[in-house]
């Protein structure tokens, strides 16, 4: 079985030397890696990696936790225009309630990136932490022809259905393996595989038993096994649908 890790930060320093890591991740079935950026400080790095390694695909964006990105949104537009042929998405972008003081700026930067995605006919990879309803209402106001992924989805069944109605897939990562992930597992069981993609968010979002920052794309196999048992479907069938879902979002324009 082969997998696409649709959201991993393997440009981070902790993954050096990357050659050795990539060989190991390939050996456990991770074929492609979609690497979102967080802000101007790693745009160049993510682009460089994608030029150096054929299995790494870049996304450019401003993460909501870096609200100083407000001043850099025009700069992002220039980068997207320059690299649009090799980008597979805009992101990661979105809203994060943990950073309350900057919510208004986060919204403005998020909307700007949605408009950019639409202008360049790209999907988005969205970070939404306790802001699913707000993200949904913004997405309704700024519809995207290519949709995208709600990365690391955690929310209710109604919120999941709302995103799916707008043409979005839900990113499933380590949270589905957590003992306290009962609620998420029950939502996912009701959603079904056709709306899901796999991700690790490495080095973040540990799987059960890992410490913070220890996660790598190799965890995709364990996330997949957990998902298979939640959905009670044949593993090979599931892996093929998940792979195709990821291709549909990121590799089919």
Distance CA 31, CA 67 (A): 33
Q: Answer for the pair 219, 202: CB distance below 8 angstroms, yes or no.
A: yes
Contact mark string toward Zn ion, 196..235, x via CB under 5 A: -----x----------------------------------
Contact mark string toward Zn ion, 144..163, x via CB under 5 A: --------------------
Q: Are strands 196-198 and 56-60 parallel, antiparallel or unpaired?
A: unpaired
- The minimum distance between CB 233 and Zn ion, in angstroms, equals 27
- Nearest CA to 96 out of 124, 38, 135 is that of 135
Q: What stretch of H or E contains 23?
A: helix 18-27
- The minimum distance between CB 232 and Zn ion, in angstroms, equals 29
Selected range binding Zn ion among 39-47, 194-202, 213-221, 231-239, rule: CB under 5 A? 194-202
| Tokens 């082969």 belong to residue | 2
- The minimum distance between CB 7 and Zn ion, in angstroms, equals 6
Task: Enter the tokens of residue 67.
Answer: 């609200």
Selected range binding Zn ion among 23-31, 69-77, 110-118, 193-201, rule: CB under 5 A? 193-201
Beta bridge partners of 90: 60, 124
- The minimum distance between CB 8 and Zn ion, in angstroms, equals 8
Half-sphere exposure of 13 (CA within 13 A, CB side): 1
Closer residue to Zn ion in complex, CB, 13/141: 13
Closer residue to Zn ion in complex, CB, 96/201: 201
Interface ranges with Zn ion (CB under 5 A): 201
């Amino acid at each position: 079985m082969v997998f696409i890790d649709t959201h991993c930060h393997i440009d981070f320093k902790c993954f050096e030397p990357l050659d050795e890591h990539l060989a190991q991740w390939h050996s456990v079935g991770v074929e492609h890696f979609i690497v979102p950026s967080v802000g101007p400080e790693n745009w160049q790095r993510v682009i460089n990696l994608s030029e150096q390694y054929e299995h790494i695909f870049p996304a450019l964006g401003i993460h909501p936790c870096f609200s100083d990105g407000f001043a850099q949104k025009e700069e992002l537009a220039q980068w997207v225009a320059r690299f649009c042929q090799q980008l597979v998405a805009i992101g990661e972008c979105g809203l994060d309630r943990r950073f309350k003081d900057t919510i208004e700026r986060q919204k403005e930067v998020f909307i700007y990136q949605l408009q950019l995605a639409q202008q360049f006919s790209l999907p988005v990879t969205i970070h939404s932490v306790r802001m699913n309803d707000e993200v949904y209402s913004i997405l309704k106001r700024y519809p995207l022809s290519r949709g995208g992924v709600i990365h690391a989805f955690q929310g209710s069944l109604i919120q999941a259905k709302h995103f799916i109605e707008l043409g979005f897939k839900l990113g499933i990562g380590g949270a589905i393996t957590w003992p306290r992930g009962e609620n998420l597992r029950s939502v996912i069981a009701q959603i079904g595989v056709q709306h899901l993609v796999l991700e690790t968010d490495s080095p973040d979002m540990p799987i059960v038993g890992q410490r913070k920052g220890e996660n790598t794309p190799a965890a995709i196999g364990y996330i997949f096994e957990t998902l298979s048992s939640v959905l009670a479907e044949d593993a090979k069938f599931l892996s093929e649908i998940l792979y195709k879902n990821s291709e549909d979002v990121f590799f089919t324009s």
